[in-house]
Amino acid sequence: MASSSSSRPSSSLSSMNNPRNNKYDVFLSFRGEETRDSFTSHLYSALCETNIETFIDDQLVRGNEISQSLLDAIEASSISVIVFSEGCKVGGFVRSWFDNYLDWLEYSIVKDAAFCLYCYVFREENGSQGAGPCFTGEGFRNWKKKEMLRQHVGGVNSAHNIARRRCESLMNQKAHVATFFFNHSKKIKREYRLCLTAVIDCIRFLLRQGLAFRGNNKSQSLDNRGNFLLANHNEEIKGVIFNNAPANLQMTSPDIQKQIVSVCSAETSRAIIKEIGDSLFSVMIDESRDISTKEQMAVVLRYVDKRGHVVERFIGIEHVIDTKAVSLKASLDIVFARHGLSMSRLRGQGYDGASNMQGGLNGLKTLILKENESAYYIHFAKVSNIVAASSKRYDILKEKHVVAVIEALKTGELKSGQGMNQEITLKRSGDTRWSSHYGTLISIITIFSSIIDVLEIIANDASNSEQRFEANSTLKFMQTFDFVFTLYLMKNILGFANELSQALQRKDQDIVNSMKLVSICKLGLQRMRKHGWNSLLIQVSSFCEKHFISVHVMETMFLTPGRSRRRAQEITNMHHYRIDLFCAILDMQLQELNSRFNESSVEFSELNGIGDLAQKMVETNKHKVFSLVYLLVTLALLLPVATATVERVFSAMNYVKNRLRSRMGDEWLNDNLVVYIEKDVFDCIDNEIILQHFQHMKSHRGILD
């Protein structure tokens, strides 16, 4: 048994075009009595059980004329299903003829005629060839002449075969006109993506290296046309760039380059701001002139990331018309608004010593504090910042120290020999490691006389009154017994802490040895408290006599500077320096060691500072349990210590905007610097993000696939 749908010339095709208006879903008919109670009846039952409206033709007797009601049922059905028995004839038509001419032969029940699908679709005036128009007009009914079917097919170039080839071409999706344009468009999109990706890769390299994008001569005939042609070495890329670019989209114009660099800068800044999130942060600002004598203000943010690490990130450079505090504050507000930062989350600010930055009346520090009282300003390492603030002062310090060493060698105070009396500089203290503070104290003691000489020069020859006042104040304080006593006391105490710190930093150190080292350190401090007073006083007195500083008599009354003698507490110098300072500071240090290094804090025993403490708290999830403690640690880490990161921005600025690139615009300079300085963040940004951002910036002729 087999089934066949109604032929194309039948009127039932019109009802199939609008199935919603049909009364029946299926018109079911059969030819061959043996199918009535078997396949046809089962098919009808299955259709009805699935709620498919079915009309079955079981009344039409073979040879009778089709009634009007039956024609209406066919017309009112969405599809027609005809079931033939094996070898069954429909009129004169034999079902087995489908086996021989299945690709083109169609039979119409209504007209009781056979048709050719190919010739019906692509009919032509073919005369009598292939039985003439009988297979396309009224249909073929000459059932006794089966050979006419073969004659209709004819030879290779017959009308039937020509129509067949046209029909096959019509049905061939790959040769369709729409398919051709679709494939062509898809090819252009793929080449455009490849070209744009190559351009972005080239821009990545140039930005990371801080190189210029083009040379002065951009002629296509030259072999060397600038740095931007680095992608030309790849043969696949060579086929889609420059003159071979799809639809002439070369993507090498300065405007396109600036747009892509702007996207790179924006995505880099967005990644930094996303990392900050809702965390608190500090700001470090400095200003300097570029090669074109423009005043540029660099902005660096300092924050603690989610892993507990202290991070300093450059977010932009802003051109300022002048360096007044009001102008700097307005430019800072612009930078904050551009990146969606809130001044309310600012917890620290750091600048250089200029009056427009840290001035107490109208300085930038004061303007920010008026808006946010929590934006604390801390000034660290005052002596080192004053003395070594410029290369000129640094050179003077070295010269003075050389003279002092030569004099000491002549008098025999210092011994000569290989590796001795090396050049010593004023070491800056770090933000978290006590060893750096210890080194600073050692260098101050070693080159004390040279520091005094430089301070005297600054006090007399400084360019402004504030620098002269600061130098005079520092000079006066350093030449006191109080300063020298505190200097040696902290040097001796930090000497024990430095040995412990150096020992705990060893990678092969285990917890047992670490706790033993802590015990040794505490024992040394306890011995110093009991027996170290006399040796400390001798050291201080000897240093003061060497540098012509008056030494206090320990048995006399101690006078607090700035207080009346009548209201002063009646204590001796011995009591003040030994009890209130010497013993009190040692007791505080011992108490700190006891609280830090006990049995309950073993997991924190290898920490080198509050930076490591923050990281360890995050690693052990204690930042959630002790949230307030972690907040205090974070606030301490946020406070800026040095402006080294900002100074590196200006070094990068002088490298990127050099004498050959002195005409760089402000926005172009900012975009280049953000990516160049924060290249580790930029490396984590995928090309697809840059592609999509660039594509949606404005309307482009090229379309990504």
* CA atoms of 308 and 305, how far apart (whole Å): 5
Running DSSP on this structure, what letter comes out for residue 572?
A: B
- Considering the domain boundaries, does residue 577 fall inside one? no
Residue 697 one-letter amino acid: M
Could you tell me if 325 and 303 lie in one domain?
Answer: yes
* CA atoms of 69 and 207, how far apart (whole Å): 82
Number of separate domains in the chain: 3
- Considering the domain boundaries, does residue 625 fall inside one? no
- Considering the domain boundaries, does residue 673 fall inside one? yes
Final residue in a domain of this structure, among 111, 140, 168? 168
Question: What was the pLDDT predicted at 227?
Answer: 65
Residue 212 one-letter amino acid: A
Residue 25 one-letter amino acid: D
- Considering the domain boundaries, does residue 437 fall inside one? no
Could you tell me if 649 and 667 lie in one domain?
Answer: yes
The two tokens of residue 279 are: 């965390």
Could you tell me if 356 and 220 lie in one domain?
Answer: no
Question: What was the pLDDT predicted at 148?
Answer: 81
Running DSSP on this structure, what letter comes out for residue 20?
A: G
Query: How far are the Cα atoms of 30, 405, 425, 449, 607 from residue 446, in angstroms, in the given order?
Result: 116, 10, 9, 8, 30
Question: What was the pLDDT predicted at 433?
Answer: 47
* CA atoms of 636 and 352, how far apart (whole Å): 20
Torsion sign over Cα 185, 191, 193, 199: negative
Residue 162, burial from CB neighbour count under 10 angstroms (0-12, 13-18, 19+): middle
Note the pLDDT tens digit of each residue in 33-60: 666 677 778 888 888 887 888 888 766 5
pTM over 0.75: no
Q: Tell which residue, 609, 661, 641, has the closest CA to residue 430.
A: 641
Residue 573, burial from CB neighbour count under 10 angstroms (0-12, 13-18, 19+): middle
Could you tell me if 186 and 241 lie in one domain?
Answer: yes
What is the pairing mode between strands 295-304 and 281-289?
A: antiparallel
Could you tell me if 35 and 154 lie in one domain?
Answer: yes
Owning domain of residue 107: 24-168
- Considering the domain boundaries, does residue 293 fall inside one? yes
* CA atoms of 1 and 375, how far apart (whole Å): 91
Question: What was the pLDDT predicted at 10?
Answer: 34
Could you tell me if 97 and 37 lie in one domain?
Answer: yes
- Considering the domain boundaries, does residue 276 fall inside one? yes
Q: Say what the alpha-carbon torsion angle 169, 170, 175, 176 is, to the nearest 10 degrees.
A: 170
Q: Check if the beta carbon of residue 234 is closer than 8 Å to that of residue 696.
A: no
Could you tell me if 273 and 200 lie in one domain?
Answer: no
Count Cα atoms within 13 angstroms, Cβ side, for 499: 14
Pure H helices in 122-253:
147-153, 159-171, 177-209, 235-238
Enumerate residues 6+ apart whose C-beta is below 8 A from 500.
Answer: 517, 518, 520, 521
Could you tell me if 37 and 162 lie in one domain?
Answer: yes
Largest CA distance in the chain: 147
Could you tell me if 155 and 187 lie in one domain?
Answer: no
Low-confidence ranges of the chain (pLDDT < 50): 1-20, 63, 128, 130-131, 230-231, 360-361, 380-389, 409, 414, 418, 421-424, 430-433, 507-511, 599-602
The two tokens of residue 216 are: 């002065």
Strand partners, 288: 296
The DSSP line for 380-393 is --HHHHHHTSSHHH
CATH at residue 287: 3.30.420
Final residue in a domain of this structure, among 106, 140, 168? 168
Question: What was the pLDDT predicted at 4?
Answer: 40
- Considering the domain boundaries, does residue 244 fall inside one? yes
Angle, in degrees to the nearest 10, between helices 254-276 and 666-677: 50
Could you tell me if 234 and 343 lie in one domain?
Answer: no
Question: What was the pLDDT predicted at 384?
Answer: 46
In this structure, how many other beta carbons lie within 10 angstroms of the beta carbon of residue 333?
Answer: 13
Secondary element (H or E) of residue 297: strand 295-304
The DSSP line for 33-61 is GGGIIIIIHHHHHHHHHTT--EEEE-SPP
Could you tell me if 138 and 41 lie in one domain?
Answer: yes
User: Burial letters for 194-211: b for 16+ Cβ neighbours within 10 Å, e otherwise?
Assistant: bbbbbbbebbbebbeebb
- Considering the domain boundaries, does residue 579 fall inside one? no
Final residue in a domain of this structure, among 168, 195, 212? 168
Could you tell me if 278 and 353 lie in one domain?
Answer: yes
353-480-531 Cα angle (round to 5): 120
The two tokens of residue 624 are: 């959630």
